[in-house]
Structure 1
Amino acid sequence: MSNADRTFRTYVEENLDVLSSDPAHEAVVHQGRRVTAGEFRALVHRMARALRARGVAREDTVTLLSGNLPEALVARYAANLIGARVNHLYNKLSAESQADIVRDVETRALIVDPRYAERAAEVAELAPVPDVLVLGPAKLGTDLLELAAEQSDEPFASLARPEDACTIRHTGGTTGHPKGICTTFEQARWFRGVLPEKPGERRQLVATTLAHAAGAMADSTLYAGGTVVLLDDFDPAEVLAAIERERITDLFLLPPLLYQLMDHPDRPRTDTSSLRMVAYGGCQASPARIADAIRTFGPVLMQGYGQNEAGGISVLTQEDHDPDRPDRLRSAGKVLPDVEVAIRDESGRDLPNGEHGEVCVRSPMIMQGYWKQPELTAEVLRGGWLHTGDIGFLDDEGYLTIVDRIKDMIVVVGGHVYTTELEDLLNSHPQVLQSAVYGVRDADRMERVHAAVVRAPGSTVDGPELRAMVCAERGAMYEPAHLTFVDALPLTDAGKPDKKELRRRAEQEAGTAA
């Protein structure tokens, strides 16, 4: 190991240093359990030793199948201390998809939340692994907490090197060969600088899966000496109750979940005055609904735009959240320091401000590459720039606006329909809460514009009225060929509108009709 490697400190070591400075501080809260910083830190060191005793080594892969447990955070930290890479599965994927990922990343140990023991048994049968370890007693594998209790809690010296893969994250539900995104230990330290620091104690509520952005934000909160409050899943009533009960200061939600929160009947009688930052991102937000959120929660909203492949790219600050500036709310904010953004056409030519093209990014946070997919890595990381697959533009003030994913853009007779532009328009109707726009090919293989709309309670708006509004505002090209009203949009594990599922339903209905 080089001198540079010996002096390098991982995000885990730095967070453990913070935890050791005030051992009595409340670090993690879950279902009434209050884990102190000292208890958390001690368990990380014990678990790291237990994993090493089971044969887990540097550059092995540890896969987590777990809900939002304090022990899941501990397990990630312990595995990373050893220098192992961690893959955290999305819980709502099928057993077959999870098994594909477990097999693909060459899992050395599968670490399981006892609540997911049955699913873990299915996955292990489809993709056998050398070791199944459970975060508590279960009829499956070996109790990792019992093994850890037998170990010393003396500091475990990190075996990780800066260039080692720290995490392998998979994008959504995978079919065929999984697309795993590798991030190094060196890059993991950059993520903590994306969110602005706020004075005072930070108390973050995690209401979405730790496998997604909330996990990195939990790391940032612990590094700041704050407290992480874990909920098992998103439920707007439970989130509101937790904000009031735990005096939550920080919250991250994907836009559809934020809308549910502010539309919930408990919200007007809930004290949310402790909130200092409500971060949102992960998918396109509606300017009209974000303006509603500002009026509801106050000047606490902040939007972050990024990708697993690219890390953080831009931020729309709290100061930029002006409810009377829908054009500003439609943007993803200004590009972060140390990040370069270029808007390019299909030939790779840089485009001037205002013109739509692919968003290309260069920064220290860009992924190492896709796991075992060198050709795809070379295609996405061309010339040292990451090609995001997002279509956007920069304005003269340096604000970045994302208008669509290249794969979601609908090609129709006469041009392109940008799905987010149509969603913004539909959401601007006072009787519409949410919408999702997606393309579906008909029997002639032509793409047609489909829209699923969630109406406000008591709404009388109908399809012809919304179509007429679209035609008047955007022209006939944007008029949905099919517009359906739904009680709620299906969401992915992370909380994004599940357009694959909506497209599947539409195709199924078309097949039935045929």
Structure 2
Amino acid sequence: MPISDQSFRTYVEENLDALNRDPGHEALVHQGRRVTAGEFRALVLRMARALRERGVQRGTTVTLLSGNLPETVAARYAANLVGARVNHLYNKLSADSQAAIVRDVETRALIVDPRLAERAAELVELAPVPDVLVLGPAKLGTDLLELAAGHSDEPFVTDARPDDICTIRHTGGTTGHPKGICTSFEQVRWFTGALPEFEDVVHRQLVCTTLAHAAGYMADGVLRSGGTVVLLDDFDAEEALATIERERITALFLLPPLLYQLMDHPDRPHTDTSSLRMVTYGGCQASPARLADAVRAFGPVLVQGYGQNEAGGISVLTQEDHDPERPDRLRSAGKVLPDVEVAVRDESGRDLPPGEHGEICVRSSMIMQGYWKQPELTAEVLRDGWLHTGDVGFVDEEGYLTIVDRLKDMIVVVGGHVYTTELEDLLNSHPQVLQSAVYGVRDADRMERVHATVVRTPGGDVDAEQLRAMVREVRGPMYEPARITFTEALPLTDAGKPDKKELRRRAEESGAAA
């Protein structure tokens, strides 16, 4: 039976209907727990009624402080089903940063993973909220699962409307005023479309990065298509490989640094990864040399998705385009998606011809409504229906889009600009370099100097001067780093991207740019 006969239906209602087609099938797996589609659907409906009883309704905000639990997905669905906005905190942010977000989005209810109860207590001291609900027993707040158990699991009609805000997602940073990206219920319906179909394959997705990021949207598509979502609490290459083999995983999302870890782990050659059909990566720049290695390791299963929270999906580099013999193609972000327009523009707003570098501007139905309570910033990036992404890139004669840098990461030096991703690609091409991060550090005269932090291959002994000499020869002295440091692993953000802010902070603290 469909949830309702109304003309507009949320992604939650559509997914609950899909789950009801085969209620006995395994929908979510976590630490040995196997939750059927029927059990999950019932939990969502009961939880939605419990939230509504606690005053959560259309136009209020629910904030999630929760790891990768089946109940986390259920809580998001339940809050959206009653028409509430959902904000999912990155768990590894500082308490002060999380509190700033909780206050900013006007949180009505904070839903907490019991494992994060200590942080939640700290958080509500800094940012009091009307209601704290916990996904299980805890000393703090009220047990939402216990509340839900006393309610019916009968379907009901949502109060959400197409243009209502469905999600508020905060990007990176965390200093100053949080930058919350608002996406409507209508847009989220399109985000949660089914994954590409493969003959005789029902997707089994491994979620080993936070549900607050891209893996969460992928999970919605898997659940809608009748597949199974297997949840790990965090990324661990050994555990991920073992899970791929044991659970016959077909799909997963990884940021490039995590893809490299998976590929480089000593267990990988001895692990059966033949079930994989689609390894999607994105979120930060990838190394062509390392992608070629990944194709050789896992087969023709890689898919790159380029997009932004502000813009939705922009382009895709398909499995067929991942040719190890075409590093130029691997350097690109693929071809622009149908129904998405891309223009490359200079500082004056002039459209540039193929091959010329400029800012990527996007127009589509997926562009955000705006930044939460920041109309001036919204007006700055949204002009005449075009989103100014802040990414620098170009489109080639064949229609492939290549991103060369973020405007804010581009390093201005005497004689021109250093595009950090181009220098990273060059450093990564050295046979003794696994990964690198390039960033600018200001010296005492406020001039930016090019810095690089490098992860060497096991047993590698390449030194800074050898790498500088390679850069001088290939790219010229303008690209030569003023300083190269070596580390066992790059620091990563909560989403899994190289944390260049942290690297810059370390360099500044050490006085490296003085």
Band of TM-score, shorter chain? over 0.9
Cα distance change on mapping 1:175 and 1:156 into 2, 3 Å: same
Code of the aligned partner of 1:334: K
Given the two structures, how large is their TM-score scaled by the length of structure 2? Answer: 0.98
Code of the aligned partner of 1:54: R
Counterpart for residue 36 of structure 2: 36
Cα distance change on mapping 1:462 and 1:129 into 2, 3 Å: same
Partner SS state of residue 320, structure 2: coil
Q: After TM superposition, give the deviation of residue 22 of structure 1 in Å.
A: 0.2
Counterpart for residue 50 of structure 1: 50
Q: After TM superposition, give the deviation of residue 57 of structure 1 in Å.
A: 1.0
Q: After TM superposition, give the deviation of residue 468 of structure 1 in Å.
A: 0.6
Counterpart for residue 86 of structure 1: 86
Partner SS state of residue 391, structure 2: strand
Counterpart for residue 183 of structure 2: 183
Counterpart for residue 226 of structure 1: 227
Q: How does 1:110-259 map to 2 (within 5 A)?
A: 110-193=110-193, 195-199=195-199, 200-259=201-260
Cα distance in 2, alignment partners of residues 79 and 193 from structure 1: 20
Partner SS state of residue 192, structure 2: helix
Q: After TM superposition, give the deviation of residue 173 of structure 1 in Å.
A: 3.1
Q: After TM superposition, give the deviation of residue 191 of structure 1 in Å.
A: 1.4
Counterpart for residue 64 of structure 2: 64
Partner SS state of residue 7, structure 1: coil
Counterpart for residue 282 of structure 2: 281
Cα distance change on mapping 1:466 and 1:235 into 2, 3 Å: same
Counterpart for residue 312 of structure 2: 311
Q: After TM superposition, give the deviation of residue 279 of structure 1 in Å.
A: 0.4
Counterpart for residue 366 of structure 1: 367
Partner deviation per Cα, 1:130-162 (whole Å, 9 max, x = no partner):
000000000000000000000001112211110
Cα distance in 1, alignment partners of residues 5 and 411 from structure 2: 48
Cα distance in 2, alignment partners of residues 172 and 260 from structure 1: 22
Cα distance in 1, alignment partners of residues 172 and 63 from structure 2: 16
C-alpha contact 1:314 1:400 (8 A) present in aligned 2: yes
C-alpha contact 2:336 2:400 (8 A) present in aligned 1: yes
Cα distance in 1, alignment partners of residues 461 and 437 from structure 2: 19
Cα distance in 1, alignment partners of residues 133 and 5 from structure 2: 30
Given the two structures, how large is their TM-score scaled by the length of structure 1? Answer: 0.98
Counterpart for residue 410 of structure 1: 411
- 1:487 maps onto 2:488 in alignment: yes
Cα distance in 2, alignment partners of residues 238 and 256 from structure 1: 16
Code of the aligned partner of 1:372: K
Cα distance in 1, alignment partners of residues 174 and 382 from structure 2: 21
C-alpha contact 1:410 1:419 (8 A) present in aligned 2: yes
Q: After TM superposition, give the deviation of residue 196 of structure 1 in Å.
A: 2.8
Cα distance in 1, alignment partners of residues 5 and 394 from structure 2: 40
Partner SS state of residue 454, structure 1: strand
Counterpart for residue 467 of structure 1: 468
Q: Which residues of structure 1 form unaligned runs of 5+? A: none
C-alpha contact 2:195 2:222 (8 A) present in aligned 1: no
C-alpha contact 2:194 2:224 (8 A) present in aligned 1: no
Partner SS state of residue 59, structure 1: coil
Cα distance change on mapping 1:15 and 1:331 into 2, 3 Å: same
Counterpart for residue 384 of structure 1: 385
Partner SS state of residue 321, structure 2: coil
Cα distance in 1, alignment partners of residues 128 and 464 from structure 2: 51
Counterpart for residue 298 of structure 2: 297
Counterpart for residue 433 of structure 1: 434
C-alpha contact 1:300 1:318 (8 A) present in aligned 2: yes
Q: After TM superposition, give the deviation of residue 193 of structure 1 in Å.
A: 4.2
Code of the aligned partner of 2:92: K
Code of the aligned partner of 1:43: L
C-alpha contact 1:203 1:247 (8 A) present in aligned 2: yes
Partner SS state of residue 117, structure 1: helix
Counterpart for residue 8 of structure 2: 8
Q: Which residues of structure 2 form unaligned runs of 5+? A: none
Cα distance in 2, alignment partners of residues 15 and 433 from structure 1: 41
C-alpha contact 1:439 1:450 (8 A) present in aligned 2: yes
C-alpha contact 1:255 1:283 (8 A) present in aligned 2: yes
C-alpha contact 1:49 1:156 (8 A) present in aligned 2: no
Counterpart for residue 451 of structure 1: 452
Cα distance in 2, alignment partners of residues 434 and 194 from structure 1: 33
Code of the aligned partner of 2:482: A
Q: How does 1:315-334 map to 2 (within 5 A)?
A: 315-334=316-335
Q: After TM superposition, give the deviation of residue 197 of structure 1 in Å.
A: 3.0
Greater mean deviation of Cα atoms: 196-205 or 454-463: 196-205
Cα distance in 2, alignment partners of residues 460 and 179 from structure 1: 42
C-alpha contact 1:463 1:483 (8 A) present in aligned 2: yes
Cα distance in 2, alignment partners of residues 269 and 465 from structure 1: 34
C-alpha contact 2:194 2:221 (8 A) present in aligned 1: no
Q: After TM superposition, give the deviation of residue 172 of structure 1 in Å.
A: 1.6
Q: After TM superposition, give the deviation of residue 6 of structure 1 in Å.
A: 3.4
Greater mean deviation of Cα atoms: 460-469 or 161-170: 460-469
User: Percent identity of the aligned residues?
Assistant: 84
Partner deviation per Cα, 1:219-239 (whole Å, 9 max, x = no partner):
011111100000000000000
Counterpart for residue 442 of structure 1: 443
Partner deviation per Cα, 1:464-489 (whole Å, 9 max, x = no partner):
11111101100000000010010000
